[in-house]
Chain A
Amino acid sequence: MENFTPISALVGGGLIGLASGLYLLLNGRIAGISGIVGGLLSPGKGGAGPLERVAFIAGLIIGPLILMMGTSFEAQSIVTSPTPVIIAGGLLVGVGTTVGSGCTSGHGICGLSRFSLRSLVATLSFMGAGFLTVLVTRHLIGAA
């Protein structure tokens, strides 16, 4: 478990929880990233206005930029999959979060925080599929 980083995980997780809680308390909305992004793709269907959605997405990119440029705290984002797998993965994440009405933030953090059984079922579904996919890619076919 040499890669385990419990302190930064708890602190970062706490910030994510704070952001989600404040968004509900102040704006009255669920901070579900797939929902916030998806609403921009079919406008006029209610929910938050486009500018409110774009502001949240801009913040998602600005947060890391501030830490990258303003602090010595380093992070990385390493993608090892070949391009066709990246495209397939992106499509599956886009289709799946739209069909299933949420992702790790909306169902995972926000849904579980309000003790929603529906979100628990969704979270178990995507976690389970994630475990099985990694079993196949890392241990059955990509046994490295």
Chain B
Amino acid sequence: MRNLVSLICGTLFGAGLYISGMIDPQKVLGFLDIWAIADGGWDPSLAFVMGGGLVVAIPIFWFAKGRSEAVCGGDMNLPANRAITKKLVIGGLLFGTGWGLVGYCPGPALSALAFGQLDTIIFVVAMLAGMAGTRMMRLNG
């Protein structure tokens, strides 16, 4: 059951990335280019994706947080770590730099594999190598 839920949630998530246009790096870079606001070339779509996501997720999270166990059984695994550390910020800065270079973050990069393009595959392989290497060196936060 948990695996089926996971498959369905992944499918909804991937459909959301496709419909919202976030599967397209150019759409994401169009948002990150706030420097184009002055000449009217900015694309605020990503902010609307976040807004739409938060409007739906906040009430479900609020309801879910009050539960002692998940509907499919097991604990509610909410992150207990509240620490604001150097690692958190450095990791965010490194991630944001890679995101700004290509326009892919992890979800859209994986979903874009659906297009079967070599550039997407290269990005995903490099991303997995970065994740594995960081974990091997025990630098994960």
Which A residues form the contact surface with B (CB < 8 A)? 1, 3-6, 8-31, 33-34, 37-38, 41-42, 47-49, 51-53, 55-68, 73, 75-81, 83, 85-101, 103-105, 107-114, 116-118, 121-135, 137-139
Contacts and interface: CB of A to CB of B under 8 A. Distances in A.
Nearest to B71: A26
A62 B52 CA distance: 22
B91 A14 contact: no
Contacts of A53: 6
Contact of B48 (A6, A49, A111): A6
Nearest to A38: B131
Interface of B: 2-27, 29-30, 32-36, 40-46, 48-61, 63-65, 67, 69-72, 74-79, 81-84, 87-115, 117, 119-120, 122-135, 139-141
B99 A130 contact: yes
A93 B126 CA distance: 9
A89 B95 contact: no
Of A3, A15, A56, A99, most buried by chain B (CB within 10 Å of CB) is: A99
Contact of B6 (A27, A85, A99, A110): A27
B131 A41 contact: yes
Contacts, number: 507
B119 A9 contact: no
B96 A130 contact: yes
Contact of B134 (A1, A4, A65, A95): A95
Nearest to A93: B98
B96 A128 contact: yes
